[in-house]
Amino acid sequence: MNFPPRILHVDADNFFVSCETVLDASLCGRVVWVVGGGRGGGVVVAASAPAKLAGVRPGMPCSAALRLCPRGVFRPARLDVYKDFSRRMFAILREFSPLVVVASIDEAFLDFSAAPIEVEKIRARIFRELRLPVSAGLANSPRLAKFAANCAKPGFLEIPAGTERDFLALRFVRDLCGVGVQRERALSALGAVTFADVARLPSMLLKEKFGIWGQELWLFANGRWAEPLISKAKTRTMISRSKTFLADEKDFEKVLNFGLGEVLFLAEQLRREHLEAREMNVCVRFGDFSEVAATRRFRAPQREPDILGAVFGELFRGLLARRAAPVRQLRVALRGLSPRPPQRLLFE
């Protein structure tokens, strides 16, 4: 039996800040932001609602945020902590729907086309067990469900079947995910600022101007874009590790030893996932934010820790020979991943 699509988008509110607030209740209700890229010298990656009201935005240097809010509180990003919260949140979601598609560390889509919809129960369960507030949107496609969730923040919004065009009519096209500055300007030049404006335009004009995306936008604005949730299998092609030092590091031997540890971590990941790598890339960023990088392509796919470590050492020393300056960040990546062929038995 075919059911009409009913897709739920669940998005944790101010996820990184919410995680920090769960771990430190004194942050609740305060001007707080999370910083990545170093102690005090990084950039804002998340901000609380009071911080946003004060003008703090993701991508802003922490120093600029402190000038705006001298009494604001910032915390260094702790990705391992956030990943644990994320894992537990998705585990709860999987109890409510047969199909959950993870979109990012703090958001996912759930298929309720053939299952009972229990949105408030989901939100209450996540808050009760994790203390994380989440917003949600329910609609006939992942695209519209995400749009509804953004409109609902903080809260829940359902767009009943058949009301999609009326719901969108007076809302701005720029608020749709995927509409950047260039597309917004191009649409505005056609007289399309709201979705009602888009719906009135000829579909072929939008297709001529924007290709398939333009035709999809016309269908979306007219409430005729319905799509099921599909879980797409993604083939991993790269794994990497990155470390930003708290202060510019002048001890190159220390950076080298840290990098070797990261390579061993990546080699273990290859072993666990039964993969091999075709090339290694090493990038060093200095205190002035300039970078040097080098890549080594292996003659055959590689997975042995000793060989990977030796190659990393050669690449790292070669990069530092070009320029010896304090190191701010080190990145190591293994690319061109492929499944490891099964080991043959000696006596078949």
Whether 107 sits among the annotated catalytic residues: the reply is yes
Nearest Cα residue to 54 out of 42, 35, 68: 68
CA 105 to mean position of chain CA atoms: 6
Which residues 6+ apart lie within 8 Å of 254 measured at CB?
none
- Show the CA angle centred on residue 179, arms to residues 33 and 42, nearest 5°: 25
Number of neighbours of residue 317 by Cβ within 10 angstroms = 11
Q: Which of 20, 107, 164, 276 is catalytic?
A: 107
| Per-residue exposure over 224-262, b if at least 16 CB sit within 10 Å of its own CB, e if not | ebbebbeeeeeeeeebebebbbeebbeebeebbebbbeb
Alpha-carbon distance of 151 to 149, in angstroms, equals: 5
Place of tokens 């070009």: 322
Q: Which residues are catalytic?
A: 107
